[in-house]
C-alpha cells in the first residue's frame, strides 16, 4: 500500500490511464479534479474509487504530490492558481511541451517539479514513460516519481531536450501504430473474419513483433530482412513503402508532432 497523497488535476484520457495504474499499485490517497465536466468527474470517482473535488485549490496544502494532466494550454492559468496555495508539494506535469524550466519559472523558488511523458498504455501498466526531474527534486521525491511511474509501466530518466524530441516517439506514436492496425483490421475483416478475430490477429502480430524488436540478438534491419524472403511477397510490399516515400513521410509526421508541442 502507498500512502502518498496525490492530487490529479485533469480527469481525461491520460489522467484516467494514470489513475488506473495507481489504483492497481494500491495508491490509496488519490484525489482528482477537472475543469468543470461534472459528469466525467463523477464517473472517474466511482469507476476508480478515488476522491474528487471541484475546488482543487483548497486541497493542495494537504497533498504530497500534484500531477497536472490537463492540456498544455491550460498550464499558464492553473500554475498561477497553484503557486499561491502551494506548501512544498512535488509538482509533476504530463503535458507535451511543458518542461521543467517552464514549471520552475512559474512556481515559487525552490519548488520540486518534474516533467513526465507517458502514453495511454499506462492503463494496462505498459507505458514507456520518460521523465526529467527539476533541479530541486530530492532523492526521496525522485523515488516517489519512480514509484508512480513503475505503477504504469517502464520508465527512463532523460534530459529536457531528449523529452521534447522523444515525445512524438513514445507519447504520440501509439496512435501511429493504432492507425496502421485499423487499416490491417479493416482489411482482415474483408476476408470474412469477425471484428474480434481481426483485432486478435493484428494485436498478436504487433505483440510478437514487439517481442522480436526487444531481442538483443538482431538489429531492426535484420528483422525486416528476415521477413522479406528474396523476391517474395513482403519484398513486393516493401517496395510500395519506398514508392510512397515512407521514411520521408514518417520524418514529416514526427516533425509535425515536435513543432506542435513547441507552440
Ligand atoms: N492522451 C495521451 O496519449 C497523452 C497525453 N499527454 C498529455 O496529457 C494531457 C491531457 O491530455 P488528455 O488526457 O489526452 O486530454 P483530455 O482532453 O482527455 O483531458 C483533459 C482534462 O483536462 C481537464 N482540464 C482542462 N483544462 C483544465 C483546467 N483549466 N483546470 C483543470 N482541469 C482542466 C479537462 O477537464 P474536463 O473533464 O472538465 O473537460 C479534462 O479532464 C495533455 O497535456 C497531453 O499533452 C501526455 C502523454 C500522452
Ligand atoms: O496528442 C497529444 O497532444 C498528446 C501528447 C502526446 C500524446 N498525446
Q: How confident is the model at residue 1 (pLDDT cuts 50, 70, 90)?
A: low
Task: Check if 2-158 and 166-262 are the same fold.
Answer: no
Pocket around ligand 2: residues whose beta carbon is below 6 Å from it? 96, 167, 171-172
Percent of the chain with pLDDT over 90: 92
Q: Which atom, in ligand 2's list, is nearest to the CA of 72?
A: 3
Whether residue 230 is annotated as binding a ligand: the answer is no
Average pLDDT in the chain = 95
What number is the average pLDDT over the span 77-92?
Answer: 97
Q: Which ligand is nearest to the CA of 77?
A: 1
Whether residue 69 is annotated as binding a ligand: the answer is yes
pLDDT of residue 14 exceeding 70: yes
pLDDT of residue 197 exceeding 80: yes
pLDDT of residue 263 exceeding 90: no
Q: Which ligand is nearest to the CA of 98?
A: 1
pLDDT of residue 195 exceeding 90: yes
pLDDT of residue 9 exceeding 70: yes
For ligand 1, the distance from its centroid to the CA atom of residue 70, given in whole angstroms, is: 3
Residue of 171, 178, 259, 260 to test ligand 2 pocket, by largest number of atoms within 8 Å of CB: 171
For ligand 2, the distance from its centroid to the CA atom of residue 4, given in whole angstroms, is: 27
pLDDT of residue 185 exceeding 90: yes
What number is the average pLDDT over the span 43-48?
Answer: 96
pLDDT of residue 216 exceeding 90: no
What number is the average pLDDT over the span 18-37?
Answer: 93
Q: For domain 166-262, is the CATH number 1.10.3730.10?
A: yes
Q: Which atom, in ligand 1's list, is nearest to the CA of 175?
A: 3
**Measuring from atom 3 of ligand 2, which residue has the nearest CA?**
96
What number is the average pLDDT over the span 210-216?
Answer: 90
Q: Looking at the predicted complex, does its ipTM rise above 0.95? A: yes
pLDDT of residue 143 exceeding 90: yes
Whether residue 95 is annotated as binding a ligand: the answer is no
What number is the average pLDDT over the span 84-92?
Answer: 96
Q: Is the dihedral of CA 108, 145, 122, 32 positive or negative?
A: negative
What number is the average pLDDT over the span 139-163?
Answer: 95
Note the pLDDT tens digit of each residue in 68-78.
999 999 999 99
- Stronger pLDDT, 77 or 258, i.e. the higher one: 77
What number is the average pLDDT over the span 50-60?
Answer: 97
Q: Is the distance from CB of 65 to CB of 90 less than 8 angstroms?
A: yes
Whether residue 168 is annotated as binding a ligand: the answer is no
Q: Is the distance from CB of 40 to CB of 11 less than 8 angstroms?
A: yes
What number is the average pLDDT over the span 135-144?
Answer: 95
The CA-atom distances, in angstroms, between 153 and each of 11, 130, 165, 231 are 20, 11, 21, 40
**DSSP string over 128-168:** EEEEEE-TT--HHHHHHHHHHHHHTEEEEE--HHHHHHHII
In the structure grid, which three cell numbers stand for residue 193, read together?
Answer: 473474419
**Domain map (residue ranges) of the chain:** 2-158, 166-262
**Whether the CB of 251 sits within 6 Å of ligand 1:** no
User: What's the topology of domain 2-158?
Assistant: Rossmann fold (3.40.50)
pLDDT of residue 64 exceeding 80: yes
Per-residue confidence (pLDDT) for residue 3, from 0 to 100: 84
Note the pLDDT tens digit of each residue in 96-125.
999 999 999 999 999 999 999 999 999 899
What number is the average pLDDT over the span 3-23?
Answer: 94
Residue of 7, 16, 17, 35 to test ligand 1 pocket, by largest number of atoms within 8 Å of CB: 35
Amino acid at each position: 500500500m502507498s500512502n502518498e497523497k496525490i492530487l490529479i488535476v485533469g480527469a481525461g484520457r491520460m489522467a484516467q490511464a494514470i489513475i488506473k495504474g495507481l489504483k492497481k499499485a494500491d495508491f490509496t490517497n488519490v484525489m482528482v479534479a477537472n475543469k468543470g465536466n461534472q459528469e466525467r468527474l463523477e464517473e472517474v470517482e466511482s469507476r476508480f474509487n478515488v476522491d474528487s473535488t471541484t475546488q482543487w485549490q483548497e486541497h493542495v496544502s494537504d497533498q504530497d504530490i500534484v500531477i497536472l494532466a490537463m492540456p498544455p494550454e491550460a498550464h499558464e492559468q492553473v500554475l498561477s492558481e497553484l503557486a499561491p496555495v502551494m506548501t512544498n508539494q512535488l509538482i509533476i506535469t504530463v503535458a507535451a511541451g511543458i518542461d521543467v524550466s517552464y514549471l520552475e519559472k512559474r512556481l515559487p523558488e525552490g519548488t520540486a517539479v518534474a516533467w513526465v511523458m507517458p502514453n495511454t498504455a499506462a492503463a494496462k501498466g505498459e507505458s514507456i514513460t520518460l521523465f526529467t526531474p527539476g533541479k530541486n527534486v530530492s532523492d526521496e521525491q525522485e523515488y516517489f516519481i519512480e514509484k508512480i511511474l513503475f505503477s504504469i509501466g517502464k520508465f527512463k530518466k532523460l534530459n529536457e531536450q531528449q523529452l521534447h524530441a522523444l515525445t512524438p516517439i513514445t507519447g504520440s506514436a501509439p496512435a501511429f501504430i493504432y492507425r496502421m492496425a485499423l487499416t490491417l483490421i479493416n482489411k482482415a475483416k474483408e476476408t470474412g473474419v469477425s471484428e474480434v478475430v481481426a483485432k486478435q490477429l493484428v494485436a498478436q502480430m504487433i505483440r510478437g513483433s514487439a517481442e522480436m524488436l526487444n531481442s538483443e540478438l538482431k538489429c531492426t534491419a535484420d528483422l525486416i530482412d528476415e521477413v522479406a524472403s528474396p523476391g517474395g511477397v513482403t519484398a513486393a510490399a516493401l517496395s510500395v513503402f519506398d514508392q510512397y516515400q515512407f521514411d520521408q513521410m514518417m520524418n514529416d509526421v514526427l516533425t509535425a508532432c515536435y513543432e506542435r508541442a513547441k507552440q
